[in-house]
Amino acid sequence: MGILDRYLDEQLSRGRAYFSRDDGVQALGLSPEAFSAAVARLTKRRRLARPRRGFFLILRPEDQAVGAPDPVRWIDPLMKYLGIDYRISLLRAAAFHGSSHQAAMVFQVIAPQQIRDFDIGRHRLQFVYQAPAAFTQINRADWLGQIKSEAGFAKIAGVELTLLDAARYFHKAAGINGVAQIVKDLGAKADRRKLVKAAAYYENASVRRLGYLLDHANHIRQASVLEPFAHQAKSMKPLDPSVKPLLKSLAALHEKDAKWKLVINESVEADF
């Protein structure tokens, strides 16, 4: 057994299934070249995986078939390694909170910096950018939840942020119908005081979109706290901005929702 193999076993015995290049080089006393050669050998043997340069995952036998552990087990140490705050949100958060329709084929993270998406094994990690000023105001401990893992705890959007994130980044949440399903499944769980406070940091049109979908799902109490945002709106916005009408004359035929000041340019379907 090589020196790096023993180091990996020691890390696992301490409950750490990850390490950085700097930690490994320092602990083993290897030259950078010898360390890189050892890592290459163990990566070829599927003992290691590298989600980011200089950060390694230690694969147990049960992880080797899928190429990497579930990202929830290592997203927190990875983001700490990168020095970037984060929250798990959108489809993975919706599934965590009980939206059973969300198969969460992608692991989605919201962060205040641009981070490139990547695949590792069978996992797809997608990073969604949120402007730093809004992110700092939103990513509060009392609006977040936690997922326990062997690495400690990973930050995840609470129900209210999950709903607002889905309405804001609907194109990353399986479109308007995907968001409608999340709203239907989770809307009743939202704390109205948290919802209205957090909504102040989101685009007005996104909040109105969520209000309309809450109404549509008959979560009237949650929808009602968002009505003041519609009163502030000065113009109609499309429910689904991704739908581009071919002709202005066709756009004029769409139903308009006066309460939420939205043009209902897409039918909403969910399993009610």
Strands 107-111 and 123-129: parallel
Reply yes or no on domain 3-66 having CATH 1.10.10.10: yes
pLDDT at 247: 43
pLDDT at 20 over 70: yes
Map 4-15 to HEC letters: HHHHHHHHHHCC
More confident residue, 18 or 247: 18
pLDDT at 182 over 50: yes
pLDDT at 268: 86
> Tokens representing 137?
């105001």
In this prediction, residues 212-233 reach a mean pLDDT of 97
Distances (CA, A) of 256 to 52, 175, 239: 47, 20, 10
**Can you spell out the DSSP letters for 179-211?**
HHHHHHHHGGG--HHHHHHHHTTS-HHHHHHHH
pLDDT digits (tens, 9 = 90+) for 118-168: 999 999 999 999 999 999 999 999 999 999 877 789 999 999 999 999 999
Average pLDDT for the chain: 91
Report the distance separating Cα 176 and Cα 56, nearest Å. 37
> Tokens representing 21?
């290049």
Sorted by where each begins, the domain ranges of the chain are 3-66, 73-264
Say if residues 167 and 190 touch (Cβ distance below 8 Å).
no
pLDDT at 150: 73
Identify the sign of the CA torsion 185, 218, 188, 223: positive
Name the pLDDT band for 246 (thresholds 50, 70, 90): very low
Name the pLDDT band for 105 (thresholds 50, 70, 90): confident
pLDDT at 249 over 80: no
Say if residues 107 and 96 touch (Cβ distance below 8 Å).
no
Say if residues 211 and 223 touch (Cβ distance below 8 Å).
yes
pLDDT at 250: 46
In this prediction, residues 28-52 reach a mean pLDDT of 92
Least confidently predicted of 103-107, 178-182, 231-235:
103-107
Name the pLDDT band for 48 (thresholds 50, 70, 90): very high
Which candidate, 208, 217, 223, 221, places its Cα nearest to that of 180? 217
In this prediction, residues 64-88 reach a mean pLDDT of 94
Report the distance separating Cα 49 and Cα 32, nearest Å. 18
